[in-house]
Structure 1
């Protein structure tokens, strides 16, 4: 362990230390990040842990780093900030527009499960809404989604009845007032949110599913950071540390969701970029591969 700055100063003298200290500060990679804007604390913690894992694995090859969190803004605003270089990194679902605005690091943090959406409803209506058995029946219901999420464009393109919400926090009241029948969240994020809302519940018999990728996106002004993260992904996929972190963090939620037992209402994603690495089986959950990618011919 290095000596504290004051001890070094007393031993070496301030004049000798200052240039060395300044040089060391300049070698620290500062990552200004906006992780999952508007998401819950548990999701934010997971994504930051993944980011730290990738950066920790590359300290030997790329040097030390420091994370700095930015203020919470909308996803659209965050992508404008990353495009301009105001921030360095964001985590979000991919789309063609977002990949043009930034440098995508094409490994999905949620192994494709952010495109597996579990419907949320008032507990008093769960039996009624769980009786849905086809896309046509589901599309006739009023679905709430956050306006600037790619999910909204995906569902709208497939003909779903949508109510566009300004932010995530508004959906519980929209359900209570029955302005919408359903709201949907990813299988890896839904339970920590709904467990805090006792009048709402997650439907148990069906889900909505579309091919989707949730990445780290890097500012075009920070290509070295993007390359470092790609190197980190190769390391953590090879040594199993990412899969272990994923299972430790979201495994209990997936067990609770019983995804394999549900009816999957598949929806196409016309805005999935063609560069999405659907063929790389390391990157996707087995159910995503079998129920979505292979079913769609990928």
Structure 2
């Protein structure tokens, strides 16, 4: 029989052994408590806890990149800097230019109170906006077709020399790129967590197999097949991985839920957490942990059973 066919039979036999009760009681070969049991449950719980945060980071930065890309792409700002005796005239001129520019849905001058809020993180509350040389800001909302930014810049330069059009491209693109990279970092962290979990479960399974080497030899003498012995270890370690991951996932979800909201944190958080149906994603972590436990234990058990004769 070819090696690939043998592996397929091993997987099928292991799956049948996992999906039905153990009538032979061979599961008792694997110690239900002890160092390996505690190590498997703890490692799975810790990795699942970290996986919840990595998943929350990936989802939150994905939402952030999408929001920055969509919202900021539809708005531009006109900044007007001029001598005090000319500032009002240039503001009126800019507003007139914007009203006659195709592709603009709405334009409004940002009030001093809103400017004060924008400057509050740097200058503190009660900023004396009226005595500072702060330029006037006009917020422009584009239509779906958008505007010709270059043509509008030339027109503003000719009619209001103190007006500068800022379409946010200079700082929007780096922010979106940074958010996208953070999302990739979160996904890469999930891969590392899965790999570390597999390595830890493999070590625990090998330790359990090594500790029960004499029992395994006796089972072979009385006619037990390697696949039957391996099923006992796979069953126990898969259950432990799933149980630990379920515990870690629940704790991680509680920790995410307990995080302060954006308003409570003064607006400095980006909304780390889950929203709506996104809370269902962490529930997949125990299933993934069980699959990792299955494959890691299967690989370790069959390899060691071939070596121990």
| Pairwise same-fold verdict (TM > 0.5) | no
Q: Which has more strand, going by share of residues? A: 1
Q: Which has more helix, going by share of residues? A: 2
Pair member with larger Rg: 2
TM tier, smaller: under 0.3
